[in-house]
Structure 1
Amino acid sequence: MLRQDKLGHTSLAAVKIISGLVKSHNYDVRPEVLNILLNLQIKEVEVKKDTEDIAPKQKFMSYKEKKKNLSRMQRKWRKAEEKLEKDLLEAEASENKEKKLKLYTETLNIVFLTFFRILKRAQKSVLLPAVLEGLAKFAHLINIEFFDDLLKVLYTLIDSGDLNYRESLHCVKTAFNILSGQGDVLNIDHLKFYTHLYKTLLKLHAVVNNDDILIALQCLEVMLAKLRKQVTQQRALSFLKQLSTLALHVLPDSCIGILSTNRGIMQTFPKTDILLDNESQGSSLYLPELDEPEYCNAQNTALWELYCLRRHYHPVVRIFAAHLCAGAPSEGSEGLRAELSHKSTVELFADYTINGMTFNPPISDTVCKKKVKARANEVKDDLNGLIQKHLEKVSSVQPDFASYFKAIST
C-alpha cells in the first residue's frame, strides 16, 4: 500500500495509525511494525525559507475582490473552468505539487518524532535496528535543526558498544548522509565516524553478515562521492589497504563491490598508487592493528592482496584485481569494459549476488563440455606417451611382451 501510494494521503493515514500504536504500547512492539515505514516512497519534502530573505511581493487582489469586478457571464465561465480543472485532477489521480509536499512533510515529521522518542527512551529496545535503518534511509530529509542533537545521540550509541555490526554501520551511514547534505555547513567533528567504520570493516566476514557489507559499501560510496574533500590522503591509503585485506575473506559479490570501491579511491586520490610499489615510503612500520586510520602508517605497506586475488576462482574478481594492479586506468588494454566501469559498487554487488546459491556468472554447458573434452584428450595423449615409453623399454628385452602392449594400446 505504501509503495503504490502516489498522492500521500494513504501514507499519512497509515503513519498516524502506526505512530499511535507504538506510543500506546509504550514502544514495546515487534520490529516489523517499524520496518513497514521503510517502504515509504518519499524523496522530497517542503523546505522552509527565511521570510527575511524573500523580497516583498506586490499585493495582488484577493479572490473575492476579483469576483466583485467580474461580470455575471465572466463569473459563470470562471466557475465552469474551475470545475473542469478539478475534474481533470481527479481523473488523472494527480495533486498539486505543493499540497503533496505538505503531506510528505507531515508524514515524515510523524515518522521522525517516533524515531527520536525511541532513541531517547528505549535505546536498548529491539526496535533500535529498525529505527537506525529508517534514519539512514531518510537522513537527507531531516530538518537541519535536529542535526546536532541527532549526531550526539549517534555518538553515544557508538561509544556504548552495545550495537552489533549492522546497527553500528547504520549509525555511520546516517551520519554520513547528514554530513553530505545540509549538515556540511555545521561545525561537527566527523572523525569518530570514520574511525568507527575503519575498525568495523575487518569484523565483517562471509558467514553471517555478508549482506552487512552492502551497508559498508554504501557508506564508502557517500564518503568518496560527497565527502571526498574531508578525506585526507592518509585516510584514503588506510581505507584502501583495509578494504583490500577484507576482500580476501568475503564472498565474490562482496569482493567485487570492495574492489570497485578501491578503484574509486585510486581514481579519486591518484597518489594512492604508492601502495602498488613494494618499497617502503617512510621510516616507520605499518600498524594494521591500530584502529586510527590517520596514524597506522599505511603508506609503508603494499597491496599484496591484489596478487592473490588475480588467481581468484571468480572471473570478474580476477578482472578487477588485474585492473587495480595496473593502477586502475580508465582506458587501454588494462581498462575495464563498459558494463563493469559504468556501474556503482551497489549495482555490482546486486548483479553478482550469490543469494540464489548459484555461480554468477553462470557456467554454460557448452564451455563445460569443451573443457572436459579437451582435458580427456590431454589425458589420452599422456597415456599414449606413457605406453610408448614402456614399449621402447620392453621391446629390447621381450618382443612378445611388446606386441602385447601394442595390442592393448591399439
Structure 2
Amino acid sequence: MAPVRKRRGMTKKAPTFRRLLKTSNEKMQNKLRERKFRQRSTDKHARKEQRKLRSALRHAPPPQGASHKSGDRNSDDLEVPWDMMEGEENYICAVGQHTAFLDQHLVESAPPMKRRCREDNPEPYEVVPRSAPTKPSRRLVHLLPIKDSAGIHPRVMERPVTQEEVCEEGEDVGKSKKGKARQRKQRVSRPLAVPPNLSETGLAAWREKILNDKKRHIALLASSVLTDPHNGVQKLKELRAMLGERCVAVSVAVRRLVMLSLAELFCDITPSYYVRPLTEAELAVKVRKEVKALRDFEKGLVNQYRLYLEALEQVIRAWQKGSSGSKRGVAGVVSEALQGLAEVAVRCLCRLVVGLPHFNFHRNVLLLLVPLMDHKCPKIGECCRAAISKMFREDRRGESSLAATRLIAALIRKQNFQLHPEVIRVLLNLRVHDVEVQKDAGSLAPTKKGSQEVNLSRMQRKRHKAEEKLQRELLEAEATENKELKLRLQTETLNVVFLIYFRILKKSPNRNLLPPVLEGLARFSHLINVAFFDDLLMVLHKLIESKNLKNRERLHCIQTAFHILSGQGEALNIDPQRFYKHMYSSLFQIHCGSADEDVAIVLRCLDAMLLKRRRQVSTTRVLAFTVRLGALALQLQPNGALGILATLRSLFITFSQLNTLLDGEEAVGGVYQPLAEEPEQSQAQGAALWGLIALKRHFHPTVRQFSGHILAGAPTEGRESLPSNLSRSSPSEVFGSFSGAGFNPPIPNTPATKKVRLQH
C-alpha cells in the first residue's frame, strides 16, 4: 500500500503566544504604542530632574578645603597633618572634596513624581523668628501682618511668660496617653465654696441663685435627651454625673432633682424590649451604619441605666447603715438629709419597677424593693407595697409577678413569719384568673414515649422541625402573647402563693397574718386542686375551734370554706354543717360599733351559704338564719341594716316557705329558741319577724321603704315596690352605695317662708 502524501497547504504551524491568548493584532499594537509612550515620558521626566539637580549643585557653596587652593592663605593659619585628624573628620573632608556621589544618589533614590525642587528662596515659615531655648521667659505673639507694594510683612511681639506656664512646661512631656487619661479620671472638681462674711439673708439668696442655675442646667440636659435620645447618651451621662454634687449648700436638693429626672427620662426613652448582650459572632459581622448607631445607643443606655441603679442602691444602703448609728453616709451628706434622699431613691425605684417591667435589671430592682416592703419606716413600706401591687395588676405576661412572688416567699422564710400583714395582702392583686386547674390527677401523669407519636421518615421530621422554627419566628415577629407560656407562668405563681398560705396556716405563730391569708384563699379558692380540699377544710375548722381568732378572722375562715365548696367542691360529698353553726353563732357579735368590713364579709358569707347553695340547704336552716337576720338589722347602722334587708328580700323571693314568718297569729311547731347554738334546734318556724315592724319606723327613709316592701311580700310592682336601682342591686352593692360619708338620700331643703307685714 502506497504511503499517503500530504498536501502542500495542509502543513500545521506551531501556535504563537498571541494566538494562544486569542488577542487581536490591533489590540497588541495599541499596547505596544502605549508602552513606548510611557517609556518616553519617564525618560523625559528623569532628564528634567537631573538638570535641576545639576543646577542646584552648581550654585552650592564651595567645600571647606577650596579656600586653601587660593594664594591668599593667611600666614597665621596652621596646617594640621592628615594623620592627626580623627577618622570622622577624614571621612567628612574626603566626601566634601567629591560631591558627585550626591548627584547620583539623589537621582537614583528619589521617586520621580514626588521629588521636590531645591530653591534658593526660603519658605515663609522659615522667615518667622523663633524663640531661643536659652530664653524661656519670653514668648512670641503673632500680630496682624502688614501688606504693601513689596508684599506681606509678618509682625511678632514678645510677651512675658507667667509662672503657671513655666510650671506646665516643666512637667514631663513623655507621659503616655493612658497616664493622662488616668489623671483626667482621677481629677475631681472642687466643690463650690460658700462665700465668706455673708449674712443669713445673703446666704439664702446665694443658695437660691446656685440652686436655680442647677435646675436650669438639669432642665436643659433633660430636654436635649428627650429631643434626640439616640444622640443624647452623652447628655444622659452628664446628667447622671450630677448625682455626685458636692456643693454642701445645694447637694441634697440637686441630687433629689437629678434622681427624679433620670427616673422619668428612662421611662420615656427606654425601648419596649429587653436589650441582650451581643455575641462575639454578631460583633464580628459588619453591619450598616444605622444598625451600628442603634447598637451604640442601646449599649450606652443600658450602661447608664446600670450606673443609675447602682447610685440609688448606694444611697439606700448608706441610709440603712447610717440609721444604725453612723453620722455620715454618701459623700459627706449627714444622716438627717440622707433619709430624704433614700425616700426619693425608693420612689424612683418604684417608678422604674412599674414603668419598665420588660427592661434590663428588673429583677435587681425587685431584689431591692421586696425587702423594703416590711421596712419600719411607714412611707417607704407603703410606697414599696403600692408599687408591687400596681405591678401585679398591670403584669400581663407573668414573669415579673412570678419573680416578685418568689422573693416574697423568701422574705417570709427569712423573717420567720414576723412581718407586716400588708405584705401578704399584696398577693391579692395577682392576675391569675386565666389559670386552668387540672381537675383529673391522671392527666398530670406523663404519657409513654411513642404511644401517641407517629413514625415519620427523615424528610418528614426535617420538614416538621423547619415548620416549628418558622412558627416560632412568626410568633416573635407578631409580638403576641404566648398563651402556653403565660399559662405556665401563672400556674407556677399560683403554686408559690398557695405554698405561702399553707405554710402560714400550719406553722405561723403570728395570728396577724391570718386575715390576709384567709382572704387570699377565699379569692383564689376556685383555683386550688381538688385533692387539697379535705385537708384545707380540716385546717380551717381547727382554726375556728381554737378560739384564738377574732370575729373577723372566723368570718374569713367561713368565707374561704364556702368559696372552696362553691367551685370545684360541688362535686365532693362534703356537709359544711359545722361552718353553718359557726356562722350562726357569729352573727350576734356584729353590732352598731362593728367595722364596715365585718358587715361586708357577713353579706358575702350569707350569699355563698344560702343563696348560691339553695339546692343543698334545708328549709329549717333558712328559717333560723332569716329570724336571726331580722333581729340583727335592728342593731346596725343604716348601711348595714339596708344590706341585711336586701339579703332578707332575696331570701323571701328564693324561698316561698318564709312567708309564714310574716304571719304572727299562726304558730307552727314549738316555741322559738333564740339562744340555741344549732340553727336546726332553734325551732324558727314558730317565730315571727317582729323586727321589721320596728324598722318601719326607722329614721332613714330607705330603711322604712325596704321594711314595708318585705312586709308586703316583696312585690315587683305597686305602692310597696322598690325603685329599679334598689331592686336590681345585690346586697353587697346596696351596702356599698349607702356607705358613703354623705347623706343618701340627701336632706331636702325646706322652702323659705315669706314674711308678710300686717298693715294697720
Q: TM-score range by the shorter chain?
A: 0.7 to 0.9
Contact 2:669 2:683 in 1 (8 A): no
| Matched residue, 1:137 | 523
Q: Report the CA distance shift for 1:283/1:187 in structure 2 as closer, same or farther (over 3 A).
A: closer
How far apart, in 2, do the equivalents of 1:128 and 1:52 lie?
A: 32
Shift of 1:67: 5.9
| Among candidates 238, 256, 264, match of residue 650 of structure 2 | 264
Following superposition, which runs of at least 4 residues in structure 1 exceed 3 angstroms of deviation? 49-67, 77-82, 330-333, 407-410
Cα shift readout 1:12-34 (whole Å, capped 9, x = no counterpart): 11100000100122212111211
Whole-angstrom CA distance in 2 between matches of 1:137 and 1:304: 37
Aligned pairs for 1:29-44 (under 5 A) are 29-44=419-434
Selected match of 2:462 from 68, 78, 86: 68
TM-score, structure 1 length as denominator?
0.81
Question: Is 1:369 aligned to residue 750 of structure 2?
Answer: yes
One-letter amino acid matched to 2:477: D
Give the C-alpha shift of residue 54 in structure 1. 13
Give matches, 1:3-402, under 5 Å.
3-48=393-438, 49=440, 50-51=442-443, 59=453, 66=460, 68-69=462-463, 82-88=472-478, 90=479, 94-354=480-740, 357-363=741-747, 367-370=748-751, 373=752
Secondary structure at 2:392 match in 1: coil
Shift of 1:79: 6.0
> Structure 2: how far apart are the matches of 1:65 and 1:18?
50
Q: Is the 8 A contact 2:552 2:598 kept in 1?
A: yes
Distance of 2:662 and 2:604 partners within structure 1: 25
Cα distance in structure 2, aligned partners of 1:64 and 1:302: 83
* 5+ long unaligned stretches in structure 2: 1-390
The alignment partner of 1:120 has SS state of helix
Alpha-carbon distance in structure 2 between the residues aligned to 1:20 and 1:212: 32
1:83 shift after superposition: 2.7
Larger Rg: 2
Give, in whole Å, the separation in 2 of the partners of 1:58 and 1:136. Answer: 39
Inter-CA distance 326–95: structure 2 relative to 1 (3 Å threshold): same
Q: Which position in structure 1 is the counterpart of 2:43?
A: none
- Distance in 2 separating the partners of 1:86 and 1:245: 63
1:131 maps to a residue whose letter is V
Q: 1:238 to 1:82 in 2, by over 3 A?
A: same
Asked if the contact 2:417–2:510 (Cα under 8 Å) also holds between the matched residues in 1, the reply is no
Which whole-Å deviations, capped at 9, do the CAs of 1:254-275 have from their partners, x for residues lacking one? 1111111111111111110100
Contact kept? 1:323, 1:329, Cα under 8 Å: yes
Contact 1:210 1:250 in 2 (8 A): no
Give the C-alpha shift of residue 60 in structure 1: 5.5
Is the CA contact 1:224–1:264 (under 8 Å) kept in the aligned structure 2? Answer: no
Could you give the per-residue CA deviations for residues 180-223 of structure 1, whole angstroms, max 9, x where no partner exists? 11112323231111111111111111213232010010011112
Specify whether residues 25 and 259 from structure 1 end up closer, same or farther in structure 2 by C-alpha distance, changes over 3 A only: same
The range that moved more, 158-167 or 325-334, is 325-334
Q: What is the RMSD computed on CA atoms of the aligned residues?
A: 2.9
Provide the residue aligned with 2:318 in structure 1.
Answer: none
| Secondary structure of residue in 1 paired with 2:409 | helix
Higher relative contact order (CA 8 A, sep 6+): 1
1:9 and 1:223 map into 2 onto residues whose CA distance is 37
Aligned 8 A contact 1:210 1:251 in 2: no
Counterpart Cα distance in 2 of 1:409 and 1:293: 74
Verify the 8 A CA contact 2:610 2:622 in the aligned structure 1. Answer: no
- Does the C-alpha gap of structure 1 residues 274 and 142 become closer, same or farther in structure 2, counting only changes over 3 Å? same
- Secondary structure of residue in 1 paired with 2:393: coil
In structure 1, runs of 5+ residues without a counterpart are 382-406
Secondary structure of the 2:657 match is: helix
Note if contact 1:217-1:258 (Cα within 8 Å) is conserved in structure 2. yes
Question: What CA distance in whole angstroms lies between the structure 1 residues aligned with 2:458 and 2:605?
Answer: 54
Distance 1:138 1:235 in 2: 28
Quick one: distance in 1 between partners of 2:548 and 2:526? Answer: 26
Aligned residue for 1:126, secondary structure, equals helix
Any conservation in 2 of the 1:12–1:106 contact (CA below 8 Å)?
A: yes
Deviations 1:69-101 (A, max 9, x none): 48xxx96x986664343122x3xxx42323222
Q: 3-state SS of the aligned residue for 2:590?
A: coil
